[in-house]
Amino acid sequence: MRLTLAQLDPTIGDIPGNLERARRAIRAARRGQPGGGGASSLIVLPELVICGYPPRDLLLRDGFVAACERAIQDLAREAIAITAIVGTPWRAEGPRGVRNAAAVLRDGAIVARHDKILLPGYDVFDEDRYFDPGSAATVVDVDGTRVAIAICEDLWRGADAGYASRYPWDPVDAWAEARRTSGCDLLVALSASPFVRGKDERHMALLRSISARLGIPVAQVNQVGANDDLVFDGRSAIVRPAGGIARLPAFVEAAVTVSPMDGGTVPAGDPGGADAWSSMSHPADDADAETFAALTCAIRGYVRKTGHERVLIGLSGGIDSAVTAALATAALGAGAVQGVLMPSRHSSPGSIDDALDLVRRLGLPPPLRIPIEPGHAALGGMIAAAMPGAGAGITDENIQSRLRGLVLMGLSNGTGALVLSTGNKSELAVGYATLYGDMCGAIAPLGDLVKTRVYALARWMNASFDRAGFSAPPIPEASITKPPSAELRPDQCDQDTLPAYDVLDDIVERLIDADAAPREIEDALVASGRLPAAEVRRIIRAIDRAEYKRFQAAVIPKLTPRAFGRGRPWPIVAGAGA
């Protein structure tokens, strides 16, 4: 038996486009690859590939699921002399009337269907809001090979995300029983499992464990690309009980054809035409390389899938705007990234020089230079005339930031380019950001990276510039080494207001990523002598109070177990005892 796994990059709601992607993949598997042997017996595509994942409330729109069903019936005409297993929503009996299904296509017809059994309702997942669960394991015959079907959580049971199992039973038990009673030779799993740093290792450990437990090969095909706040890394794989693995690369559409029962592997081409297969290969052999690949994928996916071509970035000479610009350049090309310098009376000559050095290093178009001093003076005077004394202090600082946001959004309106917000997770956590100012933008690529990880990513890009696709180190050294400052008042430094970033980031990662109790965090930092108890409590209160800002923030690509946004629906108004 020959099996093709095709990891595809669907766009949510683009049923015709997703259908065409699936068609190309099936045709390629059906005819075999040049120099790669004969045709496949079976091709498996990702979870909900016909509608894209996650479809969210599109599933509630009248006619949407029916359109997906028509697309599957159309796709079945491609399944001649091959079996295709394809993810799609499907209408069925139940309180919600929809299942997350895998349709089995053969000889021009839908011959079977597996309905996802375990529906996650944690973190970014809300499948239990939309779908009714399946209740039984499904096994189909493909040219004499008994193939069991799973969909994502049926296999992972939350363990891949670091959650203890919250389900009353394990579908692996049902597959084991099917193997004992009626025979089961291969397990295939359709996934749309979002990227999280470190999750791939847990995926592979689970695949090995299930393969060894069942005594059969296990093949898993995962969605790739970015949709909204989620990034999908692909990394589809097949694991055999005796050892032996075949992998697809990370963050690119690709396909591989394998002979799962004997372990033979035949490379197959990218369903779109370019050969992307690399045996046991992915670009994530360290955390910074993985972060770089995920964020460039997130930017590229968001910009292109929303129909845009170019982006605007306010360049301050600081580390956040430099890293954001470098990521955008890697994702879209230098010609698609327009930098904007907006100096004020407080901008240092060094910061302007660093921004210009960044433009030169990245090969960006000449930056736009729009000083904000005339607007700053005029708006400050307007406010002071209406309410004497009101325009000083933090108000004056925020006027500058909001003027920069106004300039960027005005340029966006005039050019059609998207604004990228440059804020990081540390700033968003404590509210060290200005609503309608530096928070302006369509997407915040660094919004799930704490400040110390931003610095680490900058150093990795400079040390591995050729690997990242640059011709020279992209980040000016001064942007890395100088003390961080918003430059909104004379001699300002971030640490005038915040603890050292290594300490702040420890609090943020404990409180947000690990959901640790505030008292536990306080005790740990006090015991280590890193911060007084009152200061720890001040920071934690600031994190809770800043939720109203985060509620209005740009889209934040998810990189960690707990990103701000959909995966952390925190109340805006919460009492001090929360």
What pLDDT score does 242 carry?
A: 83
Please give the pLDDT value at position 269: 41
Omega into 54 within 30° of 0, i.e. cis? yes
Rg over alpha carbons for the chain, rounded to the nearest Å, is 26
Q: Are residues 211 and 242 in the same domain?
A: yes
> Do 203 and 233 belong together in one domain?
yes
Q: Name the average pLDDT for the chain.
A: 90
281 domain residue, yes or no: no
What's the pLDDT at 577?
56
Check whether residue 328 and residue 246 sit in a common domain.
no
Same domain, yes or no: 371 and 247: no
Q: Quote the number of domains for the chain.
A: 3
Same domain for 426 and 293? Answer: yes
Q: Give me the sheet containing 138-142, strands edge to edge.
A: 138-142, 145-151, 186-191, 218-222, 237-240, 243-247
Residue given tokens 């995962």 in the structure block:
222
Q: Give me the count of residues in the chain.
A: 578
Q: What is the mean pLDDT of residues 76-89?
A: 96
- Portion of the chain with pLDDT greater than 70, in percent: 93
Query: Which residue, of 494, 520, 553, is where some domain finishes?
Result: 494
Question: Residue 197: pLDDT above 70?
Answer: yes
Is residue 321 included in any domain, yes or no? Answer: yes
What are the residue numbers of the active site? 47, 116, 152
Residue 184: strand, helix, or coil: coil
What integer is the mean pLDDT of 164-186?
85
Q: Work out the pLDDT band at 283, boundaries 50, 70, 90.
A: very low
Among candidate residues 276, 310, 333, the one where a domain is terminated: 276
- pLDDT of residue 159 exceeding 60, the answer is yes
Predicted pLDDT at 508: 97
Q: Which domain holds residue 123?
A: 3-276
Q: Band the pLDDT of 457: cuts 50, 70, 90.
A: very high
What tokens appear for 215 in the block?
């005594």
Say what the pTM is.
0.92
Residue-wise pLDDT for 8-23, tens only, equals 999 999 999 999 999 9
pLDDT per position as a tens digit, 124-140:
999 999 999 998 889 99
Is the predicted pLDDT of residue 266 greater than 60, yes or no? no
Q: Which of 521, 318, 528, 530 is nearest to 432 (CA)?
A: 318
Q: Which of 217-226, 285-294, 384-393, 566-575 has the highest mean pLDDT?
A: 217-226
pLDDT at 107 over 70: yes
Output 286 or 189, whichever has higher pLDDT: 189
Whether 504 and 419 map to the same domain: the answer is no
3-state SS of 27-72? HHHHHCCCCCCCCCCEEECCCCCCCCCCCHHHHHCCCHHHHHHHHH
Same-domain check for residues 108 and 190? yes
pLDDT tens digits along 288-345: 999 999 999 999 999 999 999 999 999 999 999 999 999 999 999 999 999 999 998 8
Is 274 buried (19+), middle (13-18) or exposed (0-12) by CB count in 10 A?
Answer: exposed
Nearest to 464 by CA among 330, 355, 311, 354: 330
pLDDT of residue 218: 96
Q: Are residues 423 and 506 in the same domain?
A: no
* 558 inside domain: no
Q: Is 268 a residue whose pLDDT tops 80?
A: no
Inside any domain, residue 562: no
At 49 the pLDDT is 98
Q: What is the per-residue pLDDT for 275?
A: 32
Taking 50 as the threshold, does the pLDDT of residue 274 lie above it? no
Tokens 């009376």 belong to residue: 345
Whether 532 shows a pLDDT value over 50: the answer reads yes
CA-to-CA distance for 112 and 137, rounded, in angstroms?
12
Residue 322 parent element (H or E): helix 319-332
Q: Are residues 263 and 392 in the same domain?
A: no
The residue from 252, 276, 300 where one domain ends is 276
Considering the domain architecture, whether residues 52 and 195 belong to the same structural domain is answered as yes
Q: pLDDT per residue over 382-396, tens digit each? A: 988 888 877 778 888
**Phi, psi (rounded to 5 degrees) for 241:** -60, -35
304 and 414: one domain?
Answer: yes
- Give the whole-number percent of the chain exceeding pLDDT 90: 75
Q: What is the mean pLDDT of residues 150-174?
A: 83
501 φ/ψ sector (left φ>0, alpha ψ -120 to 50, else beta): alpha
**For position 344, what pLDDT does the model report?**
87
In a domain, 104, yes or no: yes
Burial (CB count within 10 angstroms: exposed 0-12, middle 13-18, buried 19+), residue 290: buried
- Give mean pLDDT, residues 394-409: 92
pLDDT, position 575: 66
200: in domain: yes
pLDDT at position 557 over 80: yes
Name the nearest CA neighbour of 446 among 305, 291, 216: 291
272 in a structural domain: yes
Position 375 in a domain:
yes
Q: Are residues 362 and 450 in the same domain?
A: yes
CATH number for the domain spanning 430: value is: 3.40.50.620
Residue 487 pLDDT level (bands cut at 50, 70, 90):
low
pLDDT digit string (tens) for 25-80?
999 999 875 444 568 999 999 999 999 999 999 999 999 999 999 999 999 999 99
Average pLDDT over residues 515-524: 95
Reported as a pLDDT band with limits 50, 70 and 90, residue 174 is confident
CATH of residue 265's domain is 3.60.110.10
